[in-house]
């Protein structure tokens, strides 16, 4: 089964670390990153989808970040 996650955060080094950590756990980049201005908070936000193949059945209560 293929798992999907969308990682997002303010445009800081912490976002890059979040994506790097996911990659180190076997997640793979999926599509292009996104970048948008969050007018409510006055900051730029980044996003990146990642996917991962696992050998288990899907359950809505899965903690995808722990896979």
Residue 16 counted as domain residue:
yes
What is residue 23's predicted lDDT score, i.e. its pLDDT? Answer: 97
Domain count, the chain: 1
Contact predicate 22/7, CB 8 Å: yes
Q: Which domain holds residue 41?
A: 2-56
Residue 21 counted as domain residue:
yes
Instruction: Quote the strand ranges of the chain, DSSP E.
Output: 2-10, 28-38, 43-53
Q: What pLDDT, in 10s, does the model give residues 1-60?
A: 999 999 999 999 999 999 999 999 999 999 999 999 999 999 999 999 999 999 988 888
Residue 19 counted as domain residue:
yes
What is residue 22's predicted lDDT score, i.e. its pLDDT? Answer: 96
pLDDT for 63 beyond 90: no
Taking the model in full, what pTM does it have? Answer: 0.86
What is residue 38's predicted lDDT score, i.e. its pLDDT? Answer: 95
Residue 35 counted as domain residue:
yes
Edge to edge, what strands does the sheet with 28-38 contain?
2-10, 43-53, 28-38
Residue 14 counted as domain residue:
yes
pLDDT for 67 beyond 90: no
């Amino acid at each position: 089964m293929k798992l999907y996650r969308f990682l997002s955060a303010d445009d800081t080094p912490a976002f890059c670390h979040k994506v790097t950590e996911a990659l180190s756990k076997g997640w793979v980049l999926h599509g292009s990153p996104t970048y948008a201005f969050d007018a409510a908070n006055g900051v730029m936000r980044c996003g990146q989808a990642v996917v991962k193949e696992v050998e288990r059945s899907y359950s809505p209560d899965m903690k995808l970040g722990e896979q």
